[in-house]
Amino acid sequence: MIDATGMPQSGVLLGGTSEIGLAIIRRLATRRLGRVVLAGRDPAALEQRANELRSSGIDQVSTFVADVRDAGALDGLVSEAWARLDGVDLLLVATGDLGTAELSELSAGRVASIFEVNAGGPAAALLAFAEAMAAQGSGRLVVLSSVAGVRVRRANFVYGAAKAGLDAFAVGLSEALEGSGVGVTIVRPGYVRTRMTAGRSQAPFAVDPGDVANAVVRALETGEKIVWVPAILRLVFAGLRVLPRPVFRRLPG
Ligand SMILES: NC(=O)c1ccc[n+]([C@@H]2O[C@H](COP(=O)([O-])OP(=O)(O)OC[C@H]3O[C@@H](n4cnc5c(N)ncnc54)[C@H](OP(=O)(O)O)[C@@H]3O)[C@@H](O)[C@H]2O)c1
Protein backbone atom coordinates (compact mmCIF):
# COMPACT_ATOMS: atom_id res chain seq x y z
CA MET A 1 0.00 0.00 0.00
CA ILE A 2 1.32 3.45 -0.93
CA ASP A 3 1.31 5.66 2.16
CA ALA A 4 -0.20 9.12 2.50
CA THR A 5 3.10 10.76 1.50
CA GLY A 6 3.26 8.79 -1.77
CA MET A 7 5.86 6.30 -0.55
CA PRO A 8 5.63 2.69 -1.74
CA GLN A 9 6.11 -0.27 0.63
CA SER A 10 6.72 -2.91 -2.04
CA GLY A 11 8.47 -2.60 -5.39
CA VAL A 12 10.00 -4.31 -8.41
CA LEU A 13 13.20 -3.01 -10.01
CA LEU A 14 13.41 -4.13 -13.64
CA GLY A 15 17.09 -3.75 -14.44
CA GLY A 16 17.87 -5.07 -10.97
CA THR A 17 21.58 -4.31 -11.23
CA SER A 18 21.17 -0.73 -12.47
CA GLU A 19 23.22 1.74 -10.44
CA ILE A 20 20.54 4.42 -10.75
CA GLY A 21 17.75 1.92 -10.02
CA LEU A 22 19.48 0.62 -6.89
CA ALA A 23 20.18 4.16 -5.65
CA ILE A 24 16.44 4.88 -5.91
CA ILE A 25 15.56 1.64 -4.11
CA ARG A 26 18.01 2.44 -1.29
CA ARG A 27 16.59 5.94 -0.92
CA LEU A 28 13.00 4.63 -0.85
CA ALA A 29 14.06 2.08 1.77
CA THR A 30 14.92 4.94 4.13
CA ARG A 31 11.20 5.81 3.92
CA ARG A 32 8.71 2.91 3.68
CA LEU A 33 10.03 0.43 1.09
CA GLY A 34 10.62 -2.97 2.74
CA ARG A 35 9.74 -5.61 0.15
CA VAL A 36 11.64 -5.70 -3.15
CA VAL A 37 12.08 -7.94 -6.20
CA LEU A 38 15.19 -7.33 -8.32
CA ALA A 39 14.56 -8.52 -11.88
CA GLY A 40 17.23 -8.87 -14.54
CA ARG A 41 19.14 -11.22 -16.77
CA ASP A 42 22.21 -12.13 -14.69
CA PRO A 43 21.35 -14.34 -11.69
CA ALA A 44 24.73 -14.02 -9.94
CA ALA A 45 24.85 -10.22 -10.27
CA LEU A 46 21.25 -9.94 -9.06
CA GLU A 47 21.96 -12.12 -6.02
CA GLN A 48 24.99 -9.97 -5.15
CA ARG A 49 22.89 -6.79 -5.31
CA ALA A 50 20.12 -8.48 -3.29
CA ASN A 51 22.64 -9.40 -0.56
CA GLU A 52 23.85 -5.79 -0.44
CA LEU A 53 20.28 -4.55 -0.01
CA ARG A 54 19.60 -7.16 2.68
CA SER A 55 22.69 -6.12 4.63
CA SER A 56 21.63 -2.49 4.33
CA GLY A 57 18.48 -3.46 6.26
CA ILE A 58 15.74 -4.05 3.68
CA ASP A 59 13.56 -6.81 5.16
CA GLN A 60 12.56 -8.81 2.13
CA VAL A 61 14.58 -8.90 -1.09
CA SER A 62 14.35 -11.59 -3.75
CA THR A 63 15.49 -11.93 -7.35
CA PHE A 64 13.77 -12.94 -10.58
CA VAL A 65 15.62 -13.78 -13.79
CA ALA A 66 14.10 -12.12 -16.84
CA ASP A 67 15.55 -10.70 -20.02
CA VAL A 68 13.53 -7.56 -20.75
CA ARG A 69 13.33 -8.62 -24.42
CA ASP A 70 11.33 -11.72 -23.42
CA ALA A 71 7.61 -10.87 -23.13
CA GLY A 72 6.82 -14.28 -21.59
CA ALA A 73 9.36 -13.69 -18.82
CA LEU A 74 7.78 -10.29 -18.09
CA ASP A 75 4.32 -11.88 -17.68
CA GLY A 76 5.91 -14.38 -15.28
CA LEU A 77 7.46 -11.47 -13.37
CA VAL A 78 4.06 -9.84 -12.84
CA SER A 79 2.42 -12.93 -11.33
CA GLU A 80 5.48 -13.84 -9.28
CA ALA A 81 5.87 -10.28 -7.95
CA TRP A 82 2.25 -10.13 -6.78
CA ALA A 83 2.60 -13.52 -5.09
CA ARG A 84 5.88 -12.68 -3.35
CA LEU A 85 5.15 -9.08 -2.35
CA ASP A 86 1.46 -9.40 -1.52
CA GLY A 87 0.65 -6.57 -3.94
CA VAL A 88 3.05 -4.31 -5.83
CA ASP A 89 3.12 -0.57 -5.11
CA LEU A 90 5.95 0.35 -7.46
CA LEU A 91 7.49 -0.76 -10.74
CA LEU A 92 10.78 0.97 -11.46
CA VAL A 93 11.99 0.41 -15.04
CA ALA A 94 15.75 0.90 -15.34
CA THR A 95 16.90 -1.33 -18.17
CA GLY A 96 19.10 0.39 -20.70
CA ASP A 97 21.71 -0.27 -23.33
CA LEU A 98 23.64 2.62 -24.89
CA GLY A 99 24.62 0.26 -27.70
CA THR A 100 26.41 1.86 -30.57
CA ALA A 101 25.72 4.56 -33.14
CA GLU A 102 28.56 3.53 -35.48
CA LEU A 103 27.02 2.54 -38.80
CA SER A 104 29.73 -0.05 -39.36
CA GLU A 105 28.76 -1.78 -36.09
CA LEU A 106 25.01 -1.62 -36.59
CA SER A 107 22.87 -4.33 -38.14
CA ALA A 108 19.13 -4.93 -38.19
CA GLY A 109 19.52 -7.33 -35.28
CA ARG A 110 21.63 -4.91 -33.21
CA VAL A 111 19.15 -2.06 -33.79
CA ALA A 112 16.23 -4.32 -32.86
CA SER A 113 17.98 -5.38 -29.65
CA ILE A 114 18.79 -1.77 -28.62
CA PHE A 115 15.15 -0.85 -29.23
CA GLU A 116 13.91 -3.88 -27.27
CA VAL A 117 16.08 -3.18 -24.20
CA ASN A 118 15.39 0.57 -24.16
CA ALA A 119 11.82 0.75 -25.41
CA GLY A 120 9.92 -2.39 -26.45
CA GLY A 121 10.67 -4.44 -23.33
CA PRO A 122 10.15 -1.56 -20.89
CA ALA A 123 6.87 -0.64 -22.62
CA ALA A 124 5.66 -4.24 -22.38
CA ALA A 125 6.56 -4.34 -18.68
CA LEU A 126 4.85 -1.00 -17.99
CA LEU A 127 1.69 -2.23 -19.68
CA ALA A 128 1.64 -5.57 -17.84
CA PHE A 129 2.19 -3.93 -14.44
CA ALA A 130 -0.28 -1.13 -15.26
CA GLU A 131 -3.05 -3.64 -15.88
CA ALA A 132 -2.34 -5.52 -12.65
CA MET A 133 -2.04 -2.28 -10.65
CA ALA A 134 -5.29 -0.94 -12.13
CA ALA A 135 -7.02 -4.15 -11.01
CA GLN A 136 -5.48 -3.56 -7.55
CA GLY A 137 -6.70 0.06 -7.67
CA SER A 138 -3.32 1.65 -6.93
CA GLY A 139 0.32 1.73 -7.96
CA ARG A 140 3.14 3.85 -9.31
CA LEU A 141 5.14 3.23 -12.47
CA VAL A 142 8.50 5.00 -12.57
CA VAL A 143 10.33 4.90 -15.88
CA LEU A 144 13.90 5.98 -16.54
CA SER A 145 13.71 7.84 -19.81
CA SER A 146 16.56 10.18 -20.87
CA VAL A 147 17.21 13.61 -22.28
CA ALA A 148 18.82 11.63 -25.12
CA GLY A 149 15.29 11.08 -26.41
CA VAL A 150 14.22 14.71 -26.14
CA ARG A 151 16.40 15.76 -29.03
CA VAL A 152 18.29 12.92 -30.65
CA ARG A 153 21.99 13.38 -31.35
CA ARG A 154 24.29 11.70 -33.86
CA ALA A 155 26.53 10.33 -31.09
CA ASN A 156 23.84 8.04 -29.63
CA PHE A 157 21.00 8.23 -32.13
CA VAL A 158 19.83 4.60 -31.85
CA TYR A 159 19.61 4.76 -28.05
CA GLY A 160 18.10 8.26 -28.24
CA ALA A 161 15.46 7.18 -30.76
CA ALA A 162 14.48 4.23 -28.56
CA LYS A 163 14.27 6.48 -25.47
CA ALA A 164 12.12 8.94 -27.43
CA GLY A 165 9.73 6.07 -28.17
CA LEU A 166 9.66 4.91 -24.56
CA ASP A 167 9.12 8.44 -23.27
CA ALA A 168 6.21 9.01 -25.66
CA PHE A 169 4.71 5.65 -24.71
CA ALA A 170 4.94 6.53 -21.01
CA VAL A 171 3.30 9.93 -21.58
CA GLY A 172 0.42 8.24 -23.41
CA LEU A 173 0.12 5.50 -20.79
CA SER A 174 -0.05 8.14 -18.09
CA GLU A 175 -3.02 9.73 -19.89
CA ALA A 176 -4.68 6.35 -20.40
CA LEU A 177 -4.38 5.53 -16.69
CA GLU A 178 -6.07 8.76 -15.48
CA GLY A 179 -8.62 7.86 -12.82
CA SER A 180 -7.37 4.28 -12.39
CA GLY A 181 -5.40 4.93 -9.21
CA VAL A 182 -2.16 4.17 -11.08
CA GLY A 183 0.31 6.98 -11.73
CA VAL A 184 3.29 7.24 -14.08
CA THR A 185 6.47 9.17 -13.30
CA ILE A 186 8.78 9.81 -16.24
CA VAL A 187 12.38 10.56 -15.26
CA ARG A 188 14.60 12.39 -17.77
CA PRO A 189 18.16 12.43 -16.48
CA GLY A 190 21.01 14.00 -18.35
CA TYR A 191 24.49 12.55 -17.91
CA VAL A 192 24.64 10.34 -14.79
CA ARG A 193 28.00 9.03 -13.56
CA THR A 194 27.45 5.24 -13.67
CA ARG A 195 29.05 2.28 -15.42
CA MET A 196 26.83 3.05 -18.43
CA THR A 197 28.69 6.31 -19.03
CA ALA A 198 32.11 5.21 -17.72
CA GLY A 199 34.83 6.12 -20.20
CA ARG A 200 32.66 8.62 -22.05
CA SER A 201 33.41 12.32 -21.82
CA GLN A 202 31.27 13.97 -19.17
CA ALA A 203 28.44 16.15 -20.47
CA PRO A 204 27.47 19.47 -18.82
CA PHE A 205 25.17 19.22 -15.77
CA ALA A 206 26.40 15.71 -14.87
CA VAL A 207 24.91 14.18 -11.70
CA ASP A 208 25.30 11.08 -9.53
CA PRO A 209 22.75 8.27 -9.07
CA GLY A 210 21.89 9.67 -5.62
CA ASP A 211 20.75 12.93 -7.24
CA VAL A 212 18.35 10.98 -9.46
CA ALA A 213 17.11 9.10 -6.38
CA ASN A 214 16.43 12.35 -4.51
CA ALA A 215 14.49 13.73 -7.47
CA VAL A 216 12.39 10.57 -7.77
CA VAL A 217 11.48 10.58 -4.06
CA ARG A 218 10.46 14.23 -4.34
CA ALA A 219 8.32 13.44 -7.39
CA LEU A 220 6.58 10.57 -5.59
CA GLU A 221 5.82 12.96 -2.73
CA THR A 222 4.48 15.74 -4.94
CA GLY A 223 2.90 13.67 -7.71
CA GLU A 224 5.08 15.42 -10.32
CA LYS A 225 4.81 13.43 -13.56
CA ILE A 226 7.89 14.49 -15.49
CA VAL A 227 11.18 14.83 -13.66
CA TRP A 228 14.31 16.37 -15.22
CA VAL A 229 17.57 15.63 -13.43
CA PRO A 230 19.05 18.09 -12.76
CA ALA A 231 15.96 20.32 -12.94
CA ILE A 232 17.79 22.96 -15.03
CA LEU A 233 17.72 20.55 -17.99
CA ARG A 234 14.04 21.33 -18.49
CA LEU A 235 14.97 24.88 -19.45
CA VAL A 236 18.11 23.85 -21.30
CA PHE A 237 16.16 21.44 -23.51
CA ALA A 238 13.36 23.92 -24.09
CA GLY A 239 16.09 25.90 -25.89
CA LEU A 240 17.90 22.92 -27.45
CA ARG A 241 14.66 21.62 -28.96
CA VAL A 242 14.38 24.67 -31.19
CA LEU A 243 18.07 25.21 -31.91
CA PRO A 244 18.83 25.01 -35.65
CA ARG A 245 20.36 21.61 -36.47
CA PRO A 246 23.73 22.98 -37.76
CA VAL A 247 24.24 24.68 -34.37
CA PHE A 248 22.88 21.77 -32.30
CA ARG A 249 25.29 19.40 -34.09
CA ARG A 250 28.31 21.39 -32.86
CA LEU A 251 27.43 21.36 -29.15
CA PRO A 252 29.67 19.37 -26.76
CA GLY A 253 28.52 16.30 -24.81
N1 LIG B 1 23.79 6.78 -16.82
C2 LIG B 1 23.24 7.80 -17.50
O3 LIG B 1 23.90 8.81 -17.85
C4 LIG B 1 21.76 7.78 -17.84
C5 LIG B 1 21.17 8.96 -18.30
C6 LIG B 1 19.82 8.98 -18.64
C7 LIG B 1 19.08 7.81 -18.50
N8 LIG B 1 19.69 6.66 -18.06
C9 LIG B 1 18.87 5.46 -17.97
O10 LIG B 1 18.80 5.04 -16.62
C11 LIG B 1 18.62 3.61 -16.60
C12 LIG B 1 19.66 2.98 -15.69
O13 LIG B 1 20.97 3.24 -16.21
P14 LIG B 1 22.29 3.13 -15.31
O15 LIG B 1 23.06 4.37 -15.55
O16 LIG B 1 21.93 2.73 -13.91
O17 LIG B 1 23.08 1.99 -16.06
P18 LIG B 1 23.37 0.46 -15.68
O19 LIG B 1 23.88 0.35 -14.30
O20 LIG B 1 24.23 -0.04 -16.79
O21 LIG B 1 21.93 -0.21 -15.75
C22 LIG B 1 21.38 -0.73 -16.93
C23 LIG B 1 20.53 -1.91 -16.55
O24 LIG B 1 19.90 -2.46 -17.72
C25 LIG B 1 20.01 -3.87 -17.61
N26 LIG B 1 19.87 -4.55 -18.88
C27 LIG B 1 20.54 -4.32 -20.04
N28 LIG B 1 20.11 -5.19 -20.98
C29 LIG B 1 19.14 -5.96 -20.40
C30 LIG B 1 18.33 -7.03 -20.85
N31 LIG B 1 18.40 -7.49 -22.11
N32 LIG B 1 17.43 -7.59 -19.99
C33 LIG B 1 17.35 -7.14 -18.72
N34 LIG B 1 18.11 -6.14 -18.22
C35 LIG B 1 19.00 -5.56 -19.06
C36 LIG B 1 21.41 -4.08 -17.03
O37 LIG B 1 21.57 -5.40 -16.60
P38 LIG B 1 23.01 -6.15 -16.62
O39 LIG B 1 23.67 -5.85 -15.31
O40 LIG B 1 22.66 -7.60 -16.76
O41 LIG B 1 23.78 -5.62 -17.79
C42 LIG B 1 21.33 -3.05 -15.90
O43 LIG B 1 20.59 -3.56 -14.82
C44 LIG B 1 18.68 3.15 -18.05
O45 LIG B 1 17.38 3.04 -18.56
C46 LIG B 1 19.41 4.27 -18.74
O47 LIG B 1 19.10 4.33 -20.11
C48 LIG B 1 21.00 6.62 -17.72
Please state, in angstroms and rounded to a whole number, the distance separating the CA atoms of residues 234 and 165.
19
Please tell me if the CB atom of residue 197 comes closer than 6 angstroms to any atom of ligand 1.
yes
**Active-site option among 159, 169, 191, 228:** 159
The single-letter DSSP state of residue 250 is T
With a 6 Å cutoff on the Cβ, whether 69 touches ligand 1 is yes
Q: pLDDT tens for residues 135-188?
A: 999 999 999 999 999 999 999 999 999 999 999 999 999 999 999 999 999 999
Mode of pairing for the β-strands spanning 182-189 and 226-229 = parallel
**Which tens digits make up the pLDDT trace of 179-219?**
999 999 999 999 999 999 999 989 999 999 999 999 999 99
- Residue pLDDT, tens place only, 74-133: 999 999 999 999 999 999 999 999 999 999 999 999 999 999 999 999 999 999 999 999
Strand 226-229's sheet: what is its strand order? 60-65, 35-40, 10-14, 90-93, 139-144, 182-189, 226-229
Angle at the Cα of 54 (from 51 to 56), degrees rounded to 5?
Answer: 110
Out of 194, 195, 207, 233, give the residue to mutate to test ligand 1, the one with the largest number of ligand atoms within 8 Å of its CB: 194
CATH number of this structure's domain 10-244: 3.40.50.720
22 CA: nearest ligand 1 atom: 16
Query: How buried is residue 229: exposed, middle or buried, by Cβ count under 10 Å (0-12/13-18/19+)?
Result: buried
| 54/50 Cα distance (integer angstroms) | 6
Q: Is-contact 211 251, C-beta < 8 A? A: no
Tell me, using a 6 A CB cutoff, whether residue 234 lines ligand 1.
Answer: no
The structural domains of the chain, with segments of one domain joined by +, span 10-244
Nearest atom in ligand 1 to the alpha carbon of residue 145 is 7
Q: Could you confirm whether 191 is annotated as catalytic?
A: no
Whether pTM > 0.95 for this model: the answer is yes
Q: Are 18 and 197 in contact (CB under 8 A)?
A: no
For residues 53 and 30, what is the distance between their CA atoms, to the nearest angstrom?
12
